[in-house]
Amino acid sequence: MAEKSFKYVILGGGVAAGYAAREFAKQGVQPGELAIISKEAVAPYERPALSKAYLFPEGAARLPGFHVCVGSGGERLLPEWYKEKGIQLILSTEIVKADLPAKTLVSAAGETFKYQILIIATGSTVIRLTDFGVQGADAKNIFYLREIDDADKLVEAIKAKKNGKAVIVGGGYIGLELGAIMNINSFDVSMVFPEPWCMPRLFTSDIAAFYEDYYTNKGIKIIKGTVAVGFTVDSNGEVKEVKLKDGRVLEVDIVVVGVGGRPLTTLFKGQVEEEKGGIKTDAFFKTSVPDVYAVGDLATFPLKLYNELRRVEHVDHARKSAEQAVKAIKASEEGKSVDEYDYLPYFYSRSFDLAWQFYGDNVGDSVIFGDNNPKSPKAKFGSYWIKDGKVVGAFLEGGTAEENQAIAKVAKLQPSVQSLDALKSEGLSFACKI
CB nearer to ligand NAD: pick between 338 and 355: 355
Would you mind telling me the total number of residues written for the chain in this entry?
434
Answer yes or no: are the C-beta atoms of 183 and 148 closer than 8 Å.
Answer: no
Residues of span 62-101 touching ligand FDA by CB under 6 A = 94-95
Per CB under 6 A, 265 contacts ligand FDA: no
d(CA 319, CA 19): 6
Residues of span 201-240 touching ligand NAD by CB under 6 A = 201, 227-228
Name the minimum Å distance from CB 47 to ligand NAD.
8
Binding mask 244-283 for ligand NAD (x = CB under 6 A): --------------xxxx----------------------
3-class secondary structure, 33: coil
Residues of span 103-142 touching ligand FDA by CB under 6 A = 121-124
Contacts of 348 (CB under 8 A, 6+ apart): 355, 356, 357, 358
One-letter amino acid identity for 224? K
Name the minimum Å distance from CB 245 to ligand NAD.
9
What is the dihedral sign for C-alpha 155, 265, 48, 70?
Answer: negative
Per CB under 6 A, 20 contacts ligand FDA: no
Q: Which of 23, 238, 274, 297 binds ligand FDA (CB under 6 A)?
A: 297
Report the relative pairing of strands 165-169 and 254-257 from DSSP bridges.
parallel
- How many CB atoms within 10 Å of residue 406? 20
Name the minimum Å distance from CB 122 to ligand FDA.
4
Which stretch, 36-44, 76-84, 284-292, 355-363, contacts ligand FDA (CB under 6 A)? Answer: 36-44
Residues binding ligand NAD: number (CB under 6 A) = 25
Per CB under 6 A, 50 contacts ligand FDA: yes
DSSP E strand stretches across 161-291: 165-169, 188-193, 221-224, 228-233, 239-244, 249-251, 254-257, 261-263, 274-275, 278-280
d(CA 72, CA 268): 30
Partner whose footprint covers residue 316, from ligand FDA, ligand NAD, none (CB < 5 to 8 Å by kind): ligand FDA
Q: Which of 107, 124, 265, 281 binds ligand NAD (CB under 6 A)?
A: 124
Name the minimum Å distance from CB 200 to ligand NAD.
6
Which stretch, 223-231, 303-311, 314-322, 418-426, contacts ligand FDA (CB under 6 A)? Answer: 314-322
Residue 421 CB burial class (10 angstroms; 0-12, 13-18, ≥19): exposed
Closest CA to 62 of 138, 155, 187, 158: 155
Per CB under 6 A, 195 contacts ligand NAD: yes
Contacts of 353 (CB under 8 A, 6+ apart): none
Residues of span 22-41 touching ligand NAD by CB under 6 A = none
Residues binding ligand FDA: number (CB under 6 A) = 35
What is the dihedral sign for C-alpha 243, 244, 249, 251?
Answer: negative
Contacting residues toward ligand FDA, per CB under 6 A: 12-17, 37-40, 47-48, 50-51, 94-95, 121-124, 145-147, 264, 267, 296-297, 313-316, 318, 347-349
Write out the residues near ligand NAD by the rule CB under 6 A.
Answer: 51, 124, 169-175, 177, 192-195, 201, 227-228, 258-261, 313-314, 347, 349
